[in-house]
């Protein structure tokens, strides 16, 4: 089952997950290296917030003494304050006045609030038709929130995203890549799969952009990756090169054709609701869905052509892609081993054999979306509804089987793909 594939054939889209698999695990636990990262990100966010989003107030301790300071964050029972001299200082919350303790409690609740905010995000859209094309309408409005050269803090916003960047970008550049973000957002929301997750902070999804790859890596971006979704923080980090942004003279320009598939892939993860990251679904479905969107032909004017995506999906899985765009290179004869094992394997195991598992995750997800039974996605929708009800593992896969045996389901998948020129087998 292990396919020998040369390193050069490994496309950007998987690289982060080959070497940095743990970064995508959505359980809030971080490996040692990521803990270090989370501190960096907190600091990063803290300094961003210090630029106008952060709150300066007069604090009173339990002895009635006052101090003016900026609240950077709350950590381990301490309020991390920035004093007027710029020094950071932890202060035990228990030693603050009752009023201040209450204030911090409210502040913390605000910070962790992760509720979907619009009607579109709370709606379960399982009954909607499958979109044929998703077009972004109009120019995205870009708001320049902060540009501070000294602290290298440049914050821009579009309708749904906040771009925290370490260099100044012209608004036309931001506008250019914001189209891809907003169109991906719209595409994911329009799929009738109730992909309505993701945690907004102050009304936006948080994106961190890095001018150079070195800074991206030192902030925790996995080696060789072109972008990463950090589940525990619900943020996506991307080096600017992955967006096609490059230096030109003293400023930056956007080469729209150069943006990689990694970005839509990671944005899908960011929008995927928590219940979908359960055993029985995490891996084959969560990565399959991300790949499904990423591989769907995208036009830089802001359009996903979903109707014509089947050919691209099969090509991407079986071949190495046209014009060096990458692919899983699995060939047209794929033996996956028993489907049940594939769907129930741990996430670590899933990313351990990434070419086969990502490629097949996408093919099988695509099967359930467009080729299964009446081609209406009915079974996968039942499966997603069951995940939302808290079912997982064997129990949720029983829902997916919907009365079939594993052998029958494998036969159906093999049959559907053989008509597309892919020979699937599921033997040990």
Identify which of residues 222 and 302 has a Cβ nearer to Zn ion in the complex: 222
> How many residues at the interface with Zn ion, by CB under 5 A?
2
User: Which one of 122-130, 244-252, 281-289, 408-416 is the stretch in contact with Zn ion (CB under 5 A)?
Assistant: 281-289
Q: State whether the Cα torsion 31-35-40-45 is positive or negative.
A: positive
Query: CB within 8 A of 36, min separation 6: which ones?
Result: 220
Identify which of residues 225 and 309 has a Cβ nearer to Zn ion in the complex: 225
Cα 351 to its chain centre, rounded Å, is 16
Minimum distance, C-beta of residue 229 to Zn ion, in the bound complex (Å): 7
Burial environment of residue 165 by CB neighbours within 10 A (0 to 12, 13 to 18, 19 or more): buried
User: Which one of 93-101, 121-129, 192-200, 289-297 is the stretch in contact with Zn ion (CB under 5 A)?
Assistant: 289-297
Minimum distance, C-beta of residue 294 to Zn ion, in the bound complex (Å): 9
User: Which one of 170-178, 206-214, 244-252, 290-298 is the stretch in contact with Zn ion (CB under 5 A)?
Assistant: 290-298
**212: helix, coil or strand?**
coil
Instruction: Answer for the pair 71, 78: CB distance below 8 angstroms, yes or no.
Output: no
Tokens of 200: 């907004």
Identify which of residues 176 and 231 has a Cβ nearer to Zn ion in the complex: 231
Cα–Cα dist 170/176, whole Å: 10
Identify which of residues 121 and 287 has a Cβ nearer to Zn ion in the complex: 287
Residues 140-169 that bind Zn ion (CB under 5 A): none
Minimum distance, C-beta of residue 358 to Zn ion, in the bound complex (Å): 8
Minimum distance, C-beta of residue 19 to Zn ion, in the bound complex (Å): 13
Strand ranges for 244-336 from DSSP E: 245-248, 251-254, 298-299, 303-305, 333-335
Q: State whether the Cα torsion 97-100-102-104 is positive or negative.
A: negative
Minimum distance, C-beta of residue 1 to Zn ion, in the bound complex (Å): 20
Identify which of residues 163 and 347 has a Cβ nearer to Zn ion in the complex: 347
The residues with which 204 forms a beta bridge, in sequence order, are: 201
Cα–Cα dist 124/337, whole Å: 34
Identify which of residues 13 and 209 has a Cβ nearer to Zn ion in the complex: 13
User: Which one of 120-128, 161-169, 286-294, 410-418 is the stretch in contact with Zn ion (CB under 5 A)?
Assistant: 286-294
Q: DSSP of 180-204, one letter per residue?
A: HHHHHHHHHHHSTTT------BTTB
Minimum distance, C-beta of residue 34 to Zn ion, in the bound complex (Å): 16
Minimum distance, C-beta of residue 287 to Zn ion, in the bound complex (Å): 5
Identify which of residues 69 and 363 has a Cβ nearer to Zn ion in the complex: 363
Cα–Cα dist 328/357, whole Å: 9
User: Which one of 82-90, 284-292, 325-333, 408-416 is the stretch in contact with Zn ion (CB under 5 A)?
Assistant: 284-292
User: Which residues contact Zn ion by CB under 5 A?
Assistant: 287, 290
């Amino acid at each position: 089952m292990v396919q020998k594939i040369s390193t050069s054939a490994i496309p950007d889209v998987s690289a982060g997950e080959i070497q940095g698999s743990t970064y995508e695990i959505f359980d809030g636990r971080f490996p040692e290296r990521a803990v270090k990262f989370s501190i960096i990100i907190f600091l990063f966010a803290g300094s961003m917030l210090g630029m106008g989003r952060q709150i300066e107030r007069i604090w009173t301790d339990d002895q009635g003494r006052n101090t003016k300071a900026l609240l950077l964050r709350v950590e381990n029972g301490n309020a991390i304050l920035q004093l007027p001299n710029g020094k950071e200082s932890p202060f035990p919350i228990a030693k603050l006045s009752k009023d201040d303790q209450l204030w911090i409690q409210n502040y913390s609740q605000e910070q962790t609030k992760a509720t979907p905010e619009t009607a579109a995000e709370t709606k379960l859209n399982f009954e909607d038709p499958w979109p044929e094309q998703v077009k972004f309408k109009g120019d995205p409005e870009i708001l320049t929130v902060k540009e501070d050269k000294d602290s290298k803090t440049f914050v821009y916003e579009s309708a749904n995203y906040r771009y925290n960047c370490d260099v100044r970008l012209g608004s036309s550049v931001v506008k250019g890549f914001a189209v891809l973000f907003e169109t991906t957002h719209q595409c994911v929301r329009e799929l009738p799969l109730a992909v309505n997750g993701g945690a907004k902070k102050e009304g936006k999804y948080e994106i961190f952009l890095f001018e150079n790859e070195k800074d991206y890596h030192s902030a925790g971006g996995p080696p060789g990756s072109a972008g990463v979704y950090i589940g525990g923080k619900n943020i996506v980090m991307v080096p600017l090169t992955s967006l096609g942004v490059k230096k030109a003279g003293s400023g930056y320009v956007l080469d729209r054709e150069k943006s990689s598939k990694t970005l839509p892939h990671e944005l899908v993860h960011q929008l995927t609701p928590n219940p979908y990251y359960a055993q029985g679904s995490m891996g084959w479905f969560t990565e399959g869905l991300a790949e499904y969107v990423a591989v769907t032909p995208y036009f830089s004017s802001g359009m996903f052509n979903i109707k014509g995506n089947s050919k691209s999906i099969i090509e991407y899985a079986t071949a190495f892609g046209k014009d060096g765009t990458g692919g899983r290179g699995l060939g047209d004869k794929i033996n996956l081993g028993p489907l049940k094992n594939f769907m129930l394997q741990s996430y670590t195991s899933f990313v351990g054999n990434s070419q086969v598992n990502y490629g097949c995750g996408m093919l099988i997800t695509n099967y359930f979306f467009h080729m299964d039974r009446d081609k209406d996605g009915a079974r996968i929708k039942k499966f997603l509804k069951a995940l939302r009800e808290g079912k997982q593992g064997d129990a949720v896969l029983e829902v997916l089987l919907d009365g079939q045996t594993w052998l029958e389901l494998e036969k159906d998948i093999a049959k559907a793909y053989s008509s597309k020129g892919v020979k699937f087998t599921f033997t040990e």
